[in-house]
Amino acid sequence: MTSGIRGKYILSFFVSAFFTIIAAEIYLEYNMGDWLGSQLVADLRRHANTGSALVEAQENVLTRANMAQLAKRLGRNPELRVTLIAADGQVLGDSQLDDAALRVVENHGQRPEVLEALQNGFGQNKHYSIELSQYMLYVAVPFHHPISGIGVVRVAMAMKGVQSVQDHLHLAIIVSGLIAIVTAISLGGFSAHWATRSQRHIIAYAENMAQSVHASPIQLHDKDSFSGLARFVNLLVHEKKETLAQLSEQRSQMAAVLQSMGEGVIALDGQRCITLMNRSVLELLRLPHPLLGQPARTCLPYKAHAALKLDQDCLPNEPFSAEFDLGEPTPRRMMGVVTPLYEHEGHVIVLRDITEKRRLETAQRDFVANVSHELRTPISVIQANAQTLLDGVLSDDAEYSRELIDAMERNASRLGRLISDLLDLSRLDADQLSLERNTLFLLPIVQDAAQLIQETADDKQISLQVDIAPELSVYTDAEVLHRILTNLLTNAVKYIPDQSRILVRTRTYMGGMRLEVVDNGPGIAPQHRSRLFERFYRVDSGRSRKMGGTGLGLAIVKYLAEKMGETVGMEAVEPQGSLFWVTMSPVSTQAYSMPDSEPSGEGET
């Protein structure tokens, strides 16, 4: 940049000097040429006048012989040619011709300079000399000899002599021009360096400012027009720093907000290439890294770009939404909202994972349907039996009436259990369960829960065993653990055949402990195991309803365990049977029981 400015200064000096010298040369050549010609003509005329005076001073008759000698004396200068010509044009003498040449030389009476001299007293001309084979400059003046009469003295000079003088003049002008040009370039370089000092300082500062926002203010000591420019540049630098700081802060805030959003955001340009993509998009679509600058159609999964109409020639100019499924590696439901950019070409896509939302909606619909179905059956039985009793069966048939009343009592109990379980789930969902966890011995809690279902187990001749070390302590809520055990034992007694066995034991599990309820019943088919803890899910719906089950027991167990920060699960037992377990937080692990997987029959309560 600075070299260019100095170069322009130097070039301007050079061009100015060059054209000045050209103009001077043209002027000098024109004027000096005329002046030189005039001087030559004047010199030749003086020489001719001298010759004329000498001729006129001759006292004798002018003969060819004495005129030839006189011409030789007048033309001693080798650059001059002196010719003496009679009035009739006969050449009487010539300084550069011998006697033989004089006798055969042509008549000069019609030469322009001779005619002009005879008529006007002076004549001049330039023409080619045949005798000398070169161009000559001729000057002629008349003479008046008192005896011989009128004649002409002509003095000539070769044009090559004149050209030599002009060449020397040209050479002098060219040399002086080159000296002037070199001097102009040198002075121009120095002047340019001095004149552009402030400019170079400002340009260097501007380059530094363009590369860094931490440039210090420019300082100029010269009080010239550039000092005002420097103040404006400093003002621009200050404004630039403030603007960049504000933009940087805003950009950081926008980037932080964008990257913190749970929704995935994708910005597309007019060609539907990705210009922006936040972190949530990578997580939702499981992309390895941001695919900026690439077409969205080739980057997004097929179901996504098909649902969002990215494969169409033109996207709608109004916002629209669409849902699509992503099946790998786990099924997920996604929603995309496509909105045109305001006052810009392109669109912005907002992605949300609505898998859980749709699952909850489905669960809610299923829950309402199941509750409605579960309530309808006992209410229908109670209503029908009550209507039958009211119709007179109570007084007419005491035995049948007793059956109807027993059925009403069973369905009322079932309805009560269902409502109780629903209330429990409602309290758990509303987080209204308050825990009071303490360090307790585990065996008394298990024995108390087993005692509650002992009568039912005895009726089915089921052996109920407890294998837990008396000194084992756990950190738990006694009431919640009692409820969990009661539900697990009730399910086991309810669904295993008569004369089966149930074992309650503890085992080490991943560095901790879990409480297990093991039975040797028919077990549960693999396709049902993953859904056992869902609300209203039954392996055998008809059998469960016949036994008075609500389908909420295991769901309540799962909720209670999670409220305590524990987990529950189910495993199959070989050769047959089921194992339900819940993790515990042991305080003393001095004696974990490690029984065989098959209930042994020992330790029966």
- Decide if domain 265-352 falls under CATH 3.40.50.2300: no
Task: Determine how β-strand 463-467 pairs with β-strand 501-509.
Answer: parallel
d(CA 415, CA 412): 5
Q: What is the token pair recorded at 314?
A: 């033109």
Statement: residue 143 has pLDDT above 80: yes
Nearest to 155 by CA among 177, 174, 140: 140
pLDDT value at position 1?
Answer: 45
Task: Give the confidence band of 576 by pLDDT, cuts at 50, 70, 90.
Answer: confident
pLDDT(598) > 70: no
Q: What is the largest CA-CA distance in the chain?
A: 204
* Beta partners for residue 143, in sequence order: 151
- Say which CATH class 358-429 falls into: mainly alpha
Q: Give φ, ψ of 142 to 5 degrees.
A: -80, 160
For residue 590, pLDDT beyond 50 = no
> Do residues 180 and 17 lie in contact, with contact meaning Cβ atoms separated by under 8 Å?
yes
Cα 335-337-340 angle, rounded to 5 deg: 165
275 half-sphere exposure, CB direction, 13 A CA radius: 12
CB environment 501-513: b (16+ within 10 A), e (fewer): bbbbbbeebeeeb
Q: How confident is the model at residue 597 (pLDDT cuts 50, 70, 90)?
A: very low
Contacts of 23 (CB under 8 A, 6+ apart): none
Q: Is the pLDDT at 36 greater than 90, yes or no? A: no
Residue reference for tokens 């000559």: 136
pLDDT of residue 581: 93
Within 146-178, strands assigned E span 149-158
Could you tell me which of 480, 463, 481 has the C-alpha nearest to residue 472?
A: 481
The rounded radius of gyration (Å) of the Cα atoms in the chain is 64
Closest alpha carbon to 71 in 45, 99, 46 = 99
Domain 438-588 has CATH 3.30.565.10: yes
Least Cα distance to 587 among 499, 474, 505 occurs for 474
Sheet of 123-129: strand order equals 91-94, 80-86, 149-158, 134-145, 123-129
The pLDDT of residue 395 is: 67
Name the residue with higher pLDDT: 548 or 363: 363
List of residues 6+ apart from 251 with CB closer than 8 A? none
- pLDDT of 604 above 50: no
Which run of H or E residues covers position 396?
Answer: helix 394-396
| Continuous segment of H or E residues that includes residue 138 | strand 134-145
pLDDT in tens, 343-389: 788 888 888 888 888 877 877 777 677 677 667 777 888 888 888 87
pLDDT at 318: 83
Band (pLDDT 50/70/90 cuts) for residue 249 is confident
Q: pLDDT per residue over 480-517, tens digit each?
A: 899 899 889 988 898 889 999 999 999 988 878 999 99
Angle made by CA atoms 442, 564, 491, in degrees to the nearest 5: 65
Please state, in angstroms and rounded to a whole number, the distance separating the CA atoms of residues 193 and 185. 12
Q: Is the pLDDT of residue 278 over 80?
A: yes
Q: Which fold has domain 2-166?
A: Beta-Lactamase (3.30.450)
Q: Which helix (H) or strand (E) holds 320?
A: strand 320-326
Per the structure block, which two tokens stand in for 130? 């045949």
Place 80 in a pLDDT band, splitting at 50, 70 and 90.
Answer: confident
Burial class (CB in 10 A: 0-12, 13-18, 19+), 447: middle
CB 159 within 8 A of CB 135: yes
| Better-predicted residue by pLDDT, 582 or 181 | 582
- Overall size of the chain counted in residues: 605
What is the model's pLDDT at position 237? Answer: 72
* pLDDT tens digits for range 395-421: 677 777 888 888 888 778 777 877 776
Least confident of 180-194, 256-270, 338-352: 180-194
When mean pLDDT is compared across 4-8, 19-23, 42-46, the lowest value belongs to 4-8
Whether the upstream peptide bond of residue 586 has omega within 30° of 0, thus cis, is no
SS3 percent helix, strand, coil of the chain, rounded to 5, is 50, 20, 30
pTM: 0.44
* Mean per-residue pLDDT over the chain, rounded: 78
